[in-house]
Amino acid sequence: VAVAAAGCLLQYVKDTQRSALPHLTGLCVERHEDSVILDAASRRNLELEHSLSGSPEHTLLGILDRCVTPMGARLLRRWMHRPFRDQASLRQRHASLRQLLDNGGYEYLRGALRGTGDVERILARIALKSARPRDLTTLADALGRLPGLQQFLKVCDALLLRELAGRAGTHPEVCDLLNRALVDNPPQIIRDGGMIAPGYDTELDELRGLSERADQYLIDLEARERQRTGIANLKVGFNRVHGYYIEVTRAQAQAVPPDYHRRQTLKGAERYIIPELQEFEQKALHAQERALAREKALYDALLEQLRSRLPALQTSAAALAELDVLSNLAERAAALQWNAPELVAQPGIAITAGRHPVVEQVLDAPFVPNDLYLEPEQRRMLIVTGPNLGGKSTFMRQVALIALLAHLGSFVPAERAVIGPIDRIFTRIGASDDLASGRSTFMVEMSEAANILHNATPHSLVLIDEIGRGTSTFDGLALAWACAARLASTVRAFTLFATHYFELTRLPEEQPGIANVHLDAVEHGERIVFLHRVQDGPASRSYGLQVAALAGVPPAVIQQARQRLRWLERQMLRRELPARSEAKPQLSLFGAETHPVVTALAEFDPETLTPEQALAALRRLQELL
């Protein structure tokens, strides 16, 4: 399939470009086992490149990308969407960042790379013979910086930095060729000429000499004609349509000599040609045409020379892009106070004082860091409970982003992070429908859950937030319980399972490897204060009414909700809820324990009780309440 897809892609490029493609030197096969796989839902939910609202702001890439070259920014984006799994290569990236931070080398690299332009795209345009003169001067400037980069990188201890120095090369012959061939500030387009430097080609210099002497001739002719005609403001000029001309104002048109032949009439002036100027025009224009043709031929030959060196130049461009990404990651680590992760062979994730890389930067208040510990036997799944706005989704996302950053080769926002092998990152977060495909919110939710259950492995990291909300309470609770049990017992993936179904907090009692944690909050009068701290154990309450009040729900509605809540809580004391229709009601999934009052009532026989005994029984029932 991969070969067929590559063939179709190459054929499409060949059909659209209609020329040879010497810059396409080979294909690179990417295998699933080489990278941490992120499906479309996970990329969207983690807000890697676009926020959930579709904006590029407040995303991981928005925080991470401070690259100084376009090719570096593209490479960083590829790394982010395809995190690497090979721990040896990742350790080399981390070691390179550590060295650049220790000696301040990232600042030198960023200064040296800033302004080098998009060398990769320039080389592609050279291959297609569409490069403009300024592209070549940009390439010459970039190549001119290579010796300084070589000198800096060769003394570095980090193996990856020394390897990049070797791949970058210096290309002194190409740099010298471009500097000799091109002027310092060439025109934007080729047809105007003027891009080939003086001294590069003898024939071109001779043709240009004719043009330069022509300029002086026109100055002398203008002075002579002013003296001959007595017209002080007479001008000699040129345009592409009519060629050379002598221009006088309309008021002085009566004073021109008989040998002046009208060439063009303007609103306030007349333009003429004389035999002497006409003869000169033929010679001068021919010389200019020859000069432009010669310059175009020289420029095409220059592109051909560069095309023969494309593979080596492309290797250099790739090395420069990687250096840009590494220096960018080092700058981000220094600016954001990130630390190097530890990649280990043992499965598990241990994070000390982890922070969300994006939320931390947009908050006005200090971000509350949190710890996480997952290991294969006793703590493979965490049931995360707590109030809305308490930080459950932020906590889960930050774990996934820290793992992703570590496999990208970056430092991470944590005091310490020890991360074992991860093959995939799954997320089932948020609620949205897919109208274009005709799928409801619940259908989208179940499709994402099915994808996780079918494809997750013991080395996967799974984030599930509020599964089962799109259907009835009992259906949703049953599905959430079954999904959590399957992930813990059969799939055995490392899982963070956030829920408002407090019944799920009983899972650790029934299955090993599951633990409860919650996001802390406290009540202060009628208000709720979110502490955003992850604590062991389940949450005591959901604080739904308090969050609704914070959201601006009218007080009358909140009061009515409180009354209904108390009624519902009283109903839970009974064995089952009364049916509202003839249809059989859904019973509690877990079967609530029988209340002592119900047991006592079942033992009474009202037909045999005396009034005195009935009164005593009523008192006992009150005591049981």
Q: Tens digits of per-residue pLDDT, 359-418?
A: 999 988 899 999 999 999 899 999 999 888 888 999 999 999 999 999 999 999 999 999
pLDDT tier for residue 316 given thresholds of 50, 70 and 90: very high
Q: Which two tokens stand for residue 158?
A: 């980090």
Q: Give 40-52 pLDDT, tens digit per residue.
A: 989 999 999 998 8
**Beta-sheet pairing, 349-354 with 342-343:** unpaired
Residue 432 confidence (pLDDT): 59
Q: Give 226-265 pLDDT, tens digit per residue.
A: 999 999 999 999 888 888 999 999 999 999 999 999 999 9
Average pLDDT over residues 55-74: 93
CATH code for the domain of 428? 3.40.50.300
Same-domain check for residues 332 and 475: no
List phi, psi (to 5°) of 246: -115, 125
Same-domain check for residues 280 and 409: no
For the chain, the average pLDDT equals 87
Average pLDDT over residues 279-287: 82
Same-domain check for residues 512 and 405: yes
Same-domain check for residues 402 and 431: yes
**Cβ atoms of residues 281 and 244 within 8 Å:** yes
Same-domain check for residues 213 and 293: yes
Residue 220 confidence (pLDDT): 92
**214 within a domain of the structure (yes/no):** yes
Same-domain check for residues 487 and 464: yes
Average pLDDT over residues 256-282: 92
User: HSE on the CB side for 107, CA within 13 Å?
Assistant: 6
Residue 310 confidence (pLDDT): 93
Residue 586 confidence (pLDDT): 41
**34 within a domain of the structure (yes/no):** no
Residue 471 predicted with pLDDT over 90: no
Q: How far is Cα 87 from Cα 190, in angstroms, rounded to an integer?
A: 49
Average pLDDT over residues 557-583: 66
Average pLDDT over residues 327-343: 97
**23 within a domain of the structure (yes/no):** no
Same-domain check for residues 455 and 405: yes
Residue 171 predicted with pLDDT over 70: yes
Percent of residues, the chain, with pLDDT higher than 70: 92
Q: Which runs of consecutive H residues, i.e. helices, occur in 456-583?
A: 473-486, 507-510, 544-550, 555-571
Q: How far is Cα 428 from Cα 464, in angstroms, rounded to an integer?
A: 5
pLDDT tier for residue 337 given thresholds of 50, 70 and 90: very high
Residue 435 confidence (pLDDT): 53
Domain count, the chain: 4
Residue 594 confidence (pLDDT): 60
Most confident of 322-331, 481-490, 573-582: 322-331
Same-domain check for residues 452 and 515: yes
Residue 578 confidence (pLDDT): 45
**209 within a domain of the structure (yes/no):** yes
User: HSE on the CB side for 82, CA within 13 Å?
Assistant: 10
Same-domain check for residues 494 and 513: yes
Q: Give 191-235 pLDDT, tens digit per residue.
A: 878 899 999 999 898 888 877 788 888 999 999 999 999 999 999
Same-domain check for residues 362 and 433: yes
Residue 472 predicted with pLDDT over 80: no
* Residue 355 one-letter amino acid: R
**24 within a domain of the structure (yes/no):** no
| Domain containing residue 216 | 203-302
Average pLDDT over residues 561-574: 76
**Cβ atoms of residues 504 and 481 within 8 Å:** yes
Residue 582 confidence (pLDDT): 43
